[in-house]
Amino acid sequence: MSATPTSTNVATFERFHCSCNSGDVDDIVSTIDDVFHPDAVVHSPLSAGSGPDTMKRIWTLLLRAFPDIHVMVDDMVVDHDKIASRQTVTGTHLGEYRGLAPTGKPVVYEEMFIIRFSDGQIAEVWGVVDTLAQLQQLGAIRL
């Protein structure tokens, strides 16, 4: 029995997600090379661009700033060639982030992503991240 495109997309998403939670930058970079289409387009608050290198830059920055980063998938909706995911991110600010020196403070914030697949690879990513909550918790913004 062969896998359906939808099940292949879910498996690709889960592989990428598990890799990101490994904390191993080499594993994450290798996984990005495997699961991202060479012309993938990334729309993210941290970096926008095309190709797997954009996502590699994002994860290198995140791991440098939050070496214990963990992404928990709270909800996932699968529809044909897209997966929408609502996630909770936790981590400890131990490295420079957005010009902010390490504070040692923990952060918890929400994010949502829509990922489009083509031939079993990630072809496009749209991300919305609660950077206000993130920066408030780090003391960079006060309301």
User: Tens of pLDDT along 13-49?
Assistant: 999 999 999 999 999 999 999 999 999 999 988 888 8
pLDDT reported for residue 48: 80
Asked if residue 143 belongs to a domain, the reply is no
Is residue 112 in some structural domain?
Answer: yes
Asked whether residue 44 is domain-assigned, the answer is yes
pLDDT tens digits along 105-135: 999 999 999 999 999 999 999 999 999 999 9
CATH code, domain carrying 113:
3.10.450.50
Number of domains composing the chain: 1
Task: Please state, in angstroms and as integers, the Cα–Cα distance from residue 66 to each residue in 3, 6, 76, 125, 133, following that order.
Answer: 36, 32, 24, 22, 15
Residue 1 lies in a domain: no
Q: Answer yes or no: is 98 within a domain.
A: yes
Domain for residue 37, yes or no?
yes
Q: Residue 42: which domain range?
A: 7-138
Q: Is the pLDDT of residue 69 over 70?
A: yes
Question: pLDDT over 70 for what percent of the chain?
Answer: 98
67 lies in a domain?
yes
